[in-house]
Chain A
Amino acid sequence: MSVESATGQPIASVVTEYLATELKIAADGIGGTDVLRDLPGADSMKMLRVVSKLERKWDVEFDDEAIFAVKTVDELVALVERSVG
């Protein structure tokens, strides 16, 4: 069962959409177990821009250490779910 955002969109699909937009790649090419830093064109700046967009969308601030501990797409989704759930 997936957690949904206020607009009814599952969090996982928002995360994937933001990653795809930031990296200018197709959303359906992003898998849950993909390592964020290995995604095409990924760097720490772009990942922080995604994190910042996610925080703004739900008006939350993730725990600092948790942000920098995230390695995979699924872990990023889990971070959002923990913070908004």
Chain B
Amino acid sequence: MTAGVSPREAFQATNKHYELPAELFALYLDERLKYSAGLYAGENTGLDEAQTAKLHFVAGQLGLRGGEELLDVGCGWGSLILFMAKEYGCRATGVTPSGPQAEFIRERARELGVAELITVRPGSFADTDVPGQFDAVTMLGSIVHMPDRTAVLRKAHDLLRRNGSLYLSESCFRDHAKYDEFSRRPGTVHVTESIFGFADMVPLSVLVAAAESAGFSLTGLTDLTAHYHRTIEQWEQRVHENRDRVEEVAPGMAEPLIRYLQTANAGWGYTTKHYALSARKSRMGPAEAP
């Protein structure tokens, strides 16, 4: 999975999942099609509410005040860039290798009246020329699909202005021993290869090392494992509720989709963790007290 996979091969393999029709994802994700963990305030928090709370959390971690220039690497269906444009007046750029996702975002941006704030760059981040400088870079669950982690973070670092911030969240095996033992098991391979094409859930320490090598000052770490567990429970429930429609939109997809969601949720805390990491392009880190 790791050795010998070029960035190009990884993104071609990965893209198969993300090029499935948006309609499929609308059947189990939230209204914005945000394909990453929500943030749950209480027992009765719904999926849409949790995803909105999460986007505000990300904005807080980035220190957004409004009007910043933001780059989202692996932007999916644009939930984050559209939200930051709409709610924070950010000029937001998203990179995605998936043509259907890019088209979806452009249309949604027009509907939301933020088309002039949104730029979509189709392609894999490693190979895509992204002009300009940014105040913030986000990577929510996307670096898992990129074998060249340090190069990717170095590029993000280069694209940031001085004092710019990075927010990166990822699913990780909880240590090297679990990675060695479980990353090639059939259940894992189903998720990482059959569903996603390429995904390498390296331990957090590997991501921290990559961020360090790229020149970042690390400013924060949040454990979001429980929140991803809740999110996936709600996704799975929605797949069950909409099973017939799932089969209409993507025949044969319901069973592997449920298996993927159940495998992911079985592992949280035992074999895997979900962390959010924040960092700054700054020698000294934040000067103000947190």
Contact = CB atoms under 8 A, between A and B. Distances in A.
A12 to B, nearest CB: 22
Interface stretch (B130-138, B239-247, B262-270): B262-270
Given A45-B187, A45-B263, 19 more contacts: A43-B186, A44-B185, A44-B187, A45-B262, A45-B266, A45-B267, A48-B266, A48-B267, A48-B270, A48-B271, A49-B262, A49-B266, A51-B270, A52-B266, A52-B269, A52-B270, A64-B270, A67-B270, A68-B181
B182 interface: yes
Contacts of A49: 262, 266
A46 B259 CA distance: 11
A22 B266 CA distance: 12
Contact of A46 (B181, B182, B266): B266
Q: Which of A43, A44, A49 has the most CB of B within 10 A?
A: A44
Contacts of B266: 45-46, 48-49, 52
5 contacts: A43-B186, A45-B266, A51-B270, A52-B270, A64-B270
A19 B232 CA distance: 23
B28 to A, nearest CB: 19
A21 to B, nearest CB: 14
Interface of B: 181-182, 185-187, 262-263, 266-267, 269-271
Contacts of A46: 266
Nearest to B185: A44
Contacts, number: 24
Interface string A66-82: 01100000000000000
Q: How large is the interface on A (under 10, 10 to 19, 20 to 34, 35 or more residues)?
A: 10 to 19
**SS class of chain B's interface: helix, strand, loop or mixed?**
helix
Interface string A40-70: 0001111011011000000000001001100
Q: Which of B185, B186, B266, B271 has the most CB of A within 10 A?
A: B266
Contacts of A51: 270
A80 B247 CA distance: 40
Contacts of B263: 45
Q: Which of A43, A46, A48, A49 has the most CB of B within 10 A?
A: A48
Contacts of B269: 52
Q: Which of A45, A46, A67 has the most CB of B within 10 A?
A: A45
B262 A44 contact: no
Interface string A18-47: 000000000000000000000000011110
A20 to B, nearest CB: 17
A59 to B, nearest CB: 14
A42 to B, nearest CB: 12
B145 to A, nearest CB: 22
B256 to A, nearest CB: 13
Contacts of A64: 270
Contacts of A43: 186-187
A50 B185 CA distance: 18
Contacts of A68: 181
Nearest to B271: A48
Nearest to B174: A64
Contacts of B181: 68
A45 B189 CA distance: 12
